[in-house]
Amino acid sequence: MIVCPACQHRNPEGAEVCEACGASLEGFAYRVCPKCGALNPAENLFCHRCLERLAGATSAKGEQPPATEEAEKVLAEVEEEEGTLPPFLVEQVEEAEGAPPVAEEPAPSEEEFPEALPPFIEVEEEEEEPVSEVEGPGGGETLEAVQAEAPAVPSEEREEKEEELPQVVVNPLAGVEDVLPLEAGISLPHRAEPLPTEGPTEKERADADLLRRIAEEGPPLQEAPRKAEEKGVRRLSGSGRALIYLLVLLAAVIPFFTGGQTARWVSPRRSVGVFADVMSRLPVHTPVLVSFDYSPAYGEELDPLARAVVQQLAARSVPMVVMSTKPEGIGIAEKVCTAVAQEMDNYRYGEHYAVLGYLPGEEAGLRTLRKGLADAFREDYVRHRPLSEIPVVSGIASVTDLEHIIVLSDESGIVRRWIEQVRRENTVLLHALVSARIEPTLIPYAQAGQLETLIGGAYGAAEYERATGMRGAAAQTVDADAVLFLVMLLIAVVTNVVLISGDKGRSPRR
Amino acid sequence: MKRFLPVTAAVACGGLALLDFFFDSPHIDAAGTILVEGVTILAAFALLLGLLNILAVHLRRVASGGGDRGASLVLVLALLITTALGISMPDSPGIDWVFGYIYSPLQSTMTALLAFFVASAAYRAFKIRDAAAAILLISSLFVLFAQLPFSASLSPYIPSLRHWVFKVPVTASMRGLLFGIALGTITTSLRILLAVDKPYARSQEPR
Amino acid sequence: MQTIVNVLADLPPAAVEMVGMWVAALLTLAVLSFILGDNPLFRLAEYLFVGVAAGYAASLAWSNVLWPRLRLLVTEPGAYWYYGVFFALGILLLARGVKPLSFLGDLPLGVLFGTGAALALGGVITGTLLPQLRASFLSVSPSDYGEGVLGWACAIDALLIVLGTIAVVVVFHFSAPEDPKSRSWGYWLLNLFQGVGRKVMMVGFGALLAGAAFSFFAVLKGRLAFLCDWITHVVDVGL
* Model pLDDT for residues C69-87, shown as the tens digit of each residue: 999 999 999 999 999 999 9
Decide if pLDDT at B68 tops 90.
Answer: no
Percent of chain C with pLDDT over 90: 67
Q: Do B203 and A175 touch (CB under 8 A)?
A: no
Which residues make beta-bridge pairs with A288? A320
Query: Residue A501's pLDDT is what?
Result: 87
Q: How confident is the model at residue A507 (pLDDT cuts 50, 70, 90)?
A: low
A-B CB pairs within 8 A amount to 321
Query: Residue A58's pLDDT is what?
Result: 36
Query: Residue A175's pLDDT is what?
Result: 47
3-state secondary structure of A430: strand
- Work out the burial of residue B132: count CB atoms within 10 Å of its CB; fewer than 13 is exposed, 13-18 middle, 19 or more buried: buried
Q: Which helix (H) or strand (E) holds A75?
A: helix A66-82
Are the C-beta atoms of B56 and C97 separated by less than 8 Å?
Answer: yes
Strand-strand pairing, A353-358 and A320-324: parallel
Q: Do C114 and B174 touch (CB under 8 A)?
A: no
Cα(C42)–Cα(C29) distance, rounded to whole angstroms?
Answer: 9
Query: Residue A61's pLDDT is what?
Result: 37
Q: Do C55 and B78 touch (CB under 8 A)?
A: yes
Are the C-beta atoms of C23 and B102 separated by less than 8 Å?
Answer: yes
Query: Residue B201's pLDDT is what?
Result: 83
The stretch A98-110 carries a mean pLDDT of: 33
Percent of chain C with pLDDT over 70: 91
Pairwise pLDDT comparison (A247 vs A67), residue with the higher score: A247
Helices (H), A174-321: 183-187, 202-217, 220-232, 238-258, 270-280, 299-315
Q: Which of C28, C121, C216 to mutate to test the interface with A (most CBs of A within 10 A)?
A: C216
Decide if pLDDT at A217 tops 80.
Answer: no
Are the C-beta atoms of B199 and C113 separated by less than 8 Å?
Answer: yes
Shortest Cα distance, chain B CAs vs residue A360, angstroms: 5
Sign of the CA dihedral running A439, A444, A445, A449 = positive
Cα(B181)–Cα(B103) distance, rounded to whole angstroms?
Answer: 32
The B residues from 52 to 91 touching C (CB cutoff 8 Å) are: 52-54, 56, 68, 70-72, 74-90
Decide if pLDDT at C22 tops 80.
Answer: yes
Tens digits of residue pLDDT in A268-324: 888 899 999 999 999 888 899 999 999 999 999 999 999 999 999 999 999 999 999
Decide if pLDDT at B135 tops 70.
Answer: yes
Q: If you compute the radius of gyration of chain A from its CA atoms, what whole number of angstroms results?
A: 26
3-state secondary structure of A390: coil
A495 touches chain B (CB under 8 A): yes
Question: Mean pLDDT score of chain A, rounded to an integer?
Answer: 69
pTM score, whole prediction:
0.77
Q: Shortest CB distance from C168 goes to which of B42, B122, B176? A: B176
Query: Residue B181's pLDDT is what?
Result: 92
Are the C-beta atoms of C206 and B135 separated by less than 8 Å?
Answer: yes
Cα(B53)–Cα(B56) distance, rounded to whole angstroms?
Answer: 5
Decide if pLDDT at A8 tops 50.
Answer: yes
Tens digits of residue pLDDT in C133-191: 999 998 888 888 888 888 999 999 999 999 999 999 998 776 655 565 666 777 888 88
Question: In Å, what is the CA distance from C8 to each residue of C1, C13, C123, C231?
Answer: 11, 9, 48, 25
- CB-based contacts of A172, cutoff 8 Å, min separation 6: B125, B127, B129, B130, B132, B133, B136, C202
Query: Residue A205's pLDDT is what?
Result: 63
Cα(B21)–Cα(C118) distance, rounded to whole angstroms?
Answer: 8
Decide if pLDDT at A127 tops 70.
Answer: no
Cα(B185)–Cα(A188) distance, rounded to whole angstroms?
Answer: 8
Cα(C191)–Cα(C214) distance, rounded to whole angstroms?
Answer: 35
Cα(C166)–Cα(B179) distance, rounded to whole angstroms?
Answer: 10
Query: Residue A31's pLDDT is what?
Result: 65
Decide if pLDDT at B21 tops 70.
Answer: yes
* Complete edge-to-edge strand list for the sheet that includes strand A30-32: A10-11, A2-3, A30-32, A39-41
Cα(C142)–Cα(A136) distance, rounded to whole angstroms?
Answer: 58
- CB-based contacts of A213, cutoff 8 Å, min separation 6: none
Q: Do B96 and A248 touch (CB under 8 A)?
A: no
- Work out the burial of residue A409: count CB atoms within 10 Å of its CB; fewer than 13 is exposed, 13-18 middle, 19 or more buried: buried
Shortest Cα distance, chain A CAs vs residue B5, angstroms: 16
Shortest Cα distance, chain A CAs vs residue C85, angstroms: 16
Are the C-beta atoms of A295 and A370 separated by less than 8 Å?
Answer: no
Cα(C201)–Cα(C229) distance, rounded to whole angstroms?
Answer: 42
Decide if pLDDT at A265 tops 60.
Answer: yes
Write the DSSP string, C202-236: HHHHHHHHHHHHHHHHHHHHHHHHHHHHHHHHHHH
Task: Give me the amino acid identity at A318.
Answer: V
Query: Residue A504's pLDDT is what?
Result: 72
Query: Residue A259's pLDDT is what?
Result: 75
Cα(B5)–Cα(A28) distance, rounded to whole angstroms?
Answer: 28
Query: Residue A161's pLDDT is what?
Result: 37
Tens digits of residue pLDDT in A316-358: 999 999 999 999 999 999 999 999 999 988 899 999 999 999 9
Are the C-beta atoms of C140 and C154 separated by less than 8 Å?
Answer: no
Q: How confident is the model at residue B105 (pLDDT cuts 50, 70, 90)?
A: very high
Q: Which of C200, C214, C215, C233 to mutate to test the interface with B (most CBs of B within 10 A)?
A: C200
Exposure b/e, C182-208, CB count within 10 A at least 16 = b:
eeeeeeeebeebbbbbbbbbbbbbbbb
The DSSP letter of residue A418 is I
The stretch A492-498 carries a mean pLDDT of: 92
Decide if pLDDT at B48 tops 80.
Answer: yes
Question: In Å, what is the CA distance from B122 to each residue of B125, B136, C200?
Answer: 5, 10, 19
Shortest Cα distance, chain C CAs vs residue B118, angstroms: 6
- CB-based contacts of A232, cutoff 8 Å, min separation 6: A499, A502, A503, B127, B129
Contacting residues of B for C203, CB less than 8 Å apart:
135-136, 139, 165, 169-170, 173
Q: Which of A124, A300, A328, A490 to mutate to test the interface with C (most CBs of C within 10 A)?
A: A300
Q: Shortest CB distance from C97 goes to which of A83, A142, A363? A: A142
Question: In Å, what is the CA distance from A398 to each residue of A321, A380, A395, A422, B107?
Answer: 12, 15, 9, 10, 33
Q: Do B92 and C5 touch (CB under 8 A)?
A: yes
Are the C-beta atoms of C27 and B69 separated by less than 8 Å?
Answer: no
Q: How confident is the model at residue C126 (pLDDT cuts 50, 70, 90)?
A: very high
Q: Do C204 and B36 touch (CB under 8 A)?
A: no
- Work out the burial of residue A471: count CB atoms within 10 Å of its CB; fewer than 13 is exposed, 13-18 middle, 19 or more buried: exposed
3-state secondary structure of A144: coil
Question: Mean pLDDT score of chain B, rounded to an integer?
Answer: 91
Chains in touch with A (≥3 Cβ pairs < 8 A):
B, C
Shortest Cα distance, chain C CAs vs residue B166, angstroms: 8
Q: Shortest CB distance from A194 goes to which of B119, B170, B205? A: B205
> In angstroms, how far apart are the furthest CA atoms of chain A?
82
Tens digits of residue pLDDT in A157-202: 333 333 333 333 334 445 444 445 443 333 333 333 343 444 455 6
A10 touches chain B (CB under 8 A): no
Q: How confident is the model at residue A459 (pLDDT cuts 50, 70, 90)?
A: confident
The answer, yes or no, to whether ipTM is higher than 0.85 is yes
Cα(B77)–Cα(C161) distance, rounded to whole angstroms?
Answer: 54
Decide if pLDDT at A66 tops 50.
Answer: no
Pairwise pLDDT comparison (A210 vs C141), residue with the higher score: C141
Query: Residue C101's pLDDT is what?
Result: 86
C81 touches chain B (CB under 8 A): no
The A residues from 103 to 142 touching C (CB cutoff 8 Å) are: 107-112, 115-118, 120-121, 140-142
Q: Shortest CB distance from C102 goes to which of A141, A297, A450? A: A141
Cα(A306)–Cα(A337) distance, rounded to whole angstroms?
Answer: 9
**For B172, nearest residue in chain C (alpha carbons):** C165
Query: Residue B89's pLDDT is what?
Result: 84
For residue A135, which of A27, A38, A26 has the smallest C-alpha distance?
A27
Which residues make beta-bridge pairs with A39? A32
- Work out the burial of residue A161: count CB atoms within 10 Å of its CB; fewer than 13 is exposed, 13-18 middle, 19 or more buried: middle
- CB-based contacts of A285, cutoff 8 Å, min separation 6: A319
Q: If you compute the radius of gyration of chain B from its CA atoms, what whole number of angstroms results?
A: 25
Query: Residue A43's pLDDT is what?
Result: 58
Query: Residue A86's pLDDT is what?
Result: 34
Helix axes C106-123, B171-193, angle to 10 degrees: 140
Decide if pLDDT at A393 tops 70.
Answer: yes
Write the DSSP string, C117-165: HHHHHHHIIIIIIHHHHHHH-----GGGT-SHHHHHHHHHHHHHHHHHH
Are the C-beta atoms of A85 and C175 separated by less than 8 Å?
Answer: yes
Exposure b/e, C134-171, CB count within 10 A at least 16 = b:
ebbebebebeebeeeeeeeebbebbebbbbbbbbbbbb
Q: How confident is the model at residue A212 (pLDDT cuts 50, 70, 90)?
A: low
- CB-based contacts of B127, cutoff 8 Å, min separation 6: A172, A232, A233, A495, A496, A499, B133
